[in-house]
Amino acid sequence: MKMNKDIIKNECKKQGIDSIIKYDEPLKNHTSLRIGGPADVFCSPGNIEDLKKVVSISKKYNIPFWVIGNGTNLLILDNGIKGLVINLNKGFKKIEFSDKIVKVGAGVSLVYLSKIALNRELSGLEFACNIPGTLGGAIINNAGFKGNFVADVVQNVTFLTGENKIEKASKSNLNFNYRESNLKGKSVIILEATMLLKKGNKEEIESKIKENIKIRENKQPLRKLNAGSIFKNPPGYYAGELVEKVGAKGLSRGKAEVSLKHANFIINNGGALAGDILYLIEEIEKRVKKNFGIKLEREIEILGEP
């Protein structure tokens, strides 16, 4: 269904939220790969009331919506997204401590959160010190590093449903698994989460953070535009090693390249198109399937119009 932007503009004005809405917004400005066509409608609500108004408009006019945080782990295709993109980075940044319990808004970056926890001598988030995403996406994808995951510290999650109802789910109902939770693929918007951390020694926490940062800097192409790991590790294998073994390390198309530093990363050398990245992803999948009989599962999320 083609969207009538004038109707949406009038509706947003009527609801008093036109200041948080942009039209035909280039999504390359909102992803870590710096790639992606425009979103028909892009909004950055600062609070739950505005977010609810946006969701009610999407429901009323049958407009599909997608939520993005820092746009990491995400490839948006060159023709952009037909529909509504909601970005929670403007608001939803609350952090409230109560001893070892912390309530965190979905728009808070994991890097910032790990620093705040360090300052309070709380342990449990050292693994998150250089995961570039925000908490919302980290919960949906159960982000982790070196055997530690968001699921280890989350107690419950509050989210807004597509029906505009606020609901809460405890950790046991979220079915956390390797790189996923049961909120993945559902039309819900995470608002906040409650986490349980441990009292720790500040020097030990800081030392662990430095060690994690060093491991990442040595092994991953952090100084290049990338979207993190492209594939999940298949049981018993490392995806990067499989990519290397099929001779795809350093493979390039246009300005996109399979990283020479870590073969499970594809980098944008400046001006790469989503089509270039997608070509490399599909080429790797074909080679690994042919050589090892393994169907690689994507960790990167691909959105938009092909």
Active site residue 114: no
The pair phi, psi for residue 259, each rounded to 5°, is -55, 135
Active site residue 229: yes
Alpha-helical (H) ranges within the chain are 5-14, 48-60, 110-119, 135-140, 202-219, 239-245, 274-292
Report the distance separating Cα 54 and Cα 65, nearest Å: 10
Report the distance separating Cα 267 and Cα 251, nearest Å: 11
Give per-residue burial for 210-219: e unless 16+ CB within 10 Å, then b: eebeeebeee
Q: Determine how many CB atoms are found less than 10 A away from the CB of residue 186.
A: 12
Sign of CA dihedral 227, 232, 238, 239: negative
Active site residue 299: yes
Report the distance separating Cα 98 and Cα 80, nearest Å: 42
Catalytic residue among 44, 123, 181, 229: 229
**Residue 128, C-beta contacts closer than 8 angstroms, at least 6 positions apart:** 110, 111, 113, 114, 138, 143, 145, 150
* CA-wise closest residue to 44 among 12, 84, 91: 91
Catalytic residue among 25, 126, 299, 301: 299
Which residue(s) pair with 193 in the sheet?
104, 157
Catalytic residue among 58, 179, 192, 285: 179
Annotated catalytic sites, by residue? 179, 229, 299
